[in-house]
């Protein structure tokens, strides 16, 4: 029997219809089935069930959805790589790039200069002093010394080619010494090291001196002096003056003052006469009264003192009519209206004369007021005091 296709409306349950049926028209327990069978399968003319058409997905859309995630990951990786490259370059090259020079106004320059001579120089001085002290040889120390080329031979002779150990006076133990503003404006700065006498407690137990000796009524004998004198149980104090001069190459240490004060070369020279050998020293000088019974007619007596170790001093006589006597006349106070001693810094050349049995110390040459190279300039006209 030949069947014809079902007319429209047969074999299907229109959705609108199903929706319009009251709930009572559907048997209990079949509501779900009815809702699921709203659109039954469509049959073709032979009575076979026709395949349900599938919703077509555009080809381009599938490709886009499948490739967007890898693209985003690749972009993220590129961003990370670029950021890493920028960070590396900034760290490797940033320190080598000098900032552009900015010309400041005269007022700004004055402010910077005033700040430097007030406190700015201190960090530079500690840096220079630390590197100088760390040097183990003359070659290591020369870059931080003022007038290193001129002093190289003298410095090498002084140290004698041995390994130099200056760690006993570390740079961090030096303290700032405020000079006058006039000196600081001239580029002169100063630091000091001061270590008082050190006592070895295990060796400090000593015999007590009798009351007569303690009160100065009697002199201590040799045995008591050897075993009871406090000075025999203490280390010498260490006082060092470190002067710095501002140059075009930065701050430089004045080695001559440093060596004189640390190694007490002035004391060695004045206590151990070496006839005919002169030596230059930076000193304090003041007119003094002549030694009892040793006054020289037509001369004045002056006391020459080491600037750091004030106990290291010596008295010298200078003829009034000599070039040196005339130069020193500005500090004469005895027999004047002023009546008070005047102490000044100076650079002098001392020399022992006479004989080993009767050595005489005198000023061979007055070089300049102040310390040579630190505000002082050599006076070529000065001659021997004889």
pLDDT single digits (tens) 245-273? 999 999 999 999 999 999 999 999 999 99
Neighbour tally for 341: CB within 10 Å = 13
- Check whether residue 164 and residue 277 sit in a common domain: no
Per-residue model confidence (pLDDT) at position 183 = 94
Q: What is the pLDDT of residue 1?
A: 44
- Where residue 319 falls (left for φ over 0; alpha for ψ -120 to 50; beta otherwise) is beta
Of 227, 256, 285, which closes a domain?
Answer: 256
Say if residue 151 is in the same domain as residue 278. no
pLDDT of residue 329: 92
What would the pLDDT profile of 186-233 be if each residue is shown by its tens digit? 999 999 999 887 665 555 556 667 788 777 777 777 666 665 655 555
Q: Which two tokens stand for residue 285?
A: 């000088």
Q: How many domains does the chain have?
A: 2
Query: Are 124 and 247 members of one domain?
Result: yes
SS3 of residue 334 by DSSP: coil
What is the structure's pLDDT at 229? 59
- Count of CB atoms situated within 10 Å of the CB of 375: 18
Mean pLDDT by 10 residues, the chain (386 residues): 46 43 46 47 53 52 62 80 75 56 72 92 96 96 95 95 93 94 95 82 61 77 63 75 95 97 96 93 94 78 96 93 93 85 95 92 95 88 53
Shared-domain flag, residues 247 and 351? no
Residue 19: per-residue pLDDT: 44
Residues 300-314 have pLDDT tens digits of 999 999 999 999 999
Which domain does 190 fall in, by range?
Answer: 107-198+235-256
What does the pLDDT read at residue 324?
Answer: 95
Are 276 and 332 within one domain? yes
DSSP 357: S
251 belongs to a structural domain: yes
């Amino acid at each position: 029997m030949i069947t014809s296709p079902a007319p429209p409306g047969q074999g299907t349950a229109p959705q609108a219809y199903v929706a319009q049926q009251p709930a009572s028209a559907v048997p209990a327990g079949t509501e779900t089935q009815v809702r699921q069978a709203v659109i039954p399968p469509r049959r073709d003319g032979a009575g076979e069930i026709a395949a349900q058409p599938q919703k077509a997905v555009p080809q381009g859309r599938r490709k886009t959805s499948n490739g967007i995630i890898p693209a985003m990951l690749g972009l993220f990786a590129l961003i990370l790589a670029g950021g890493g490259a920028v960070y590396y370059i900034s760290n490797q090259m940033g320190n080598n790039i000098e900032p552009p020079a900015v010309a400041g106004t005269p007022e700004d320059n004055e402010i910077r200069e005033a700040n430097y001579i007030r406190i700015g120089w201190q960090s530079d001085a500690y840096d220079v002093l630390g590197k100088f002290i760390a040097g183990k040889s003359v070659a290591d120390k020369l870059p931080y010394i003022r007038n290193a080329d001129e002093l190289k031979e003298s410095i090498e002779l002084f140290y004698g080619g041995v390994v130099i150990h200056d760690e006993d006076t570390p740079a961090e133990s030096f303290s700032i010494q405020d000079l006058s503003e006039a000196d600081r404006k001239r580029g002169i700065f100063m630091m000091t090291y001061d270590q008082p006498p050190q006592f070895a407690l295990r060796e400090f137990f000593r015999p007590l001196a009798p009351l007569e000796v303690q009160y100065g009524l009697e002199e201590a004998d040799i045995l008591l002096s050897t075993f009871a004198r406090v000075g025999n149980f203490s280390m010498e104090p260490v006082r060092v003056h470190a002067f710095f001069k501002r140059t075009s190459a930065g701050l430089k240490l004045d080695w001559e003052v440093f060596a004189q004060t640390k190694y007490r070369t002035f004391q060695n020279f004045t206590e151990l006469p070496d006839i005919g050998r002169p030596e230059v020293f930076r000193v304090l000088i003041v007119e003094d009264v002549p030694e009892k019974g040793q006054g020289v007619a037509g001369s004045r007596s002056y006391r020459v003192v080491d600037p750091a170790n004030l106990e290291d001093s010596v008295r010298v006589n200078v003829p009034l009519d000599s070039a040196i006597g005339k130069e020193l006349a500005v500090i004469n106070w005895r027999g004047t209206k002023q009546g008070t001693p005047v102490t000044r810094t100076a650079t002098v050349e001392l020399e022992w004369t006479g004989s080993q049995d009767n050595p005489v110390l005198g000023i061979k040459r007055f070089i300049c007021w102040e310390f040579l190279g630190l505000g002082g300039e050599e006076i070529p006209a000065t001659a021997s005091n004889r």
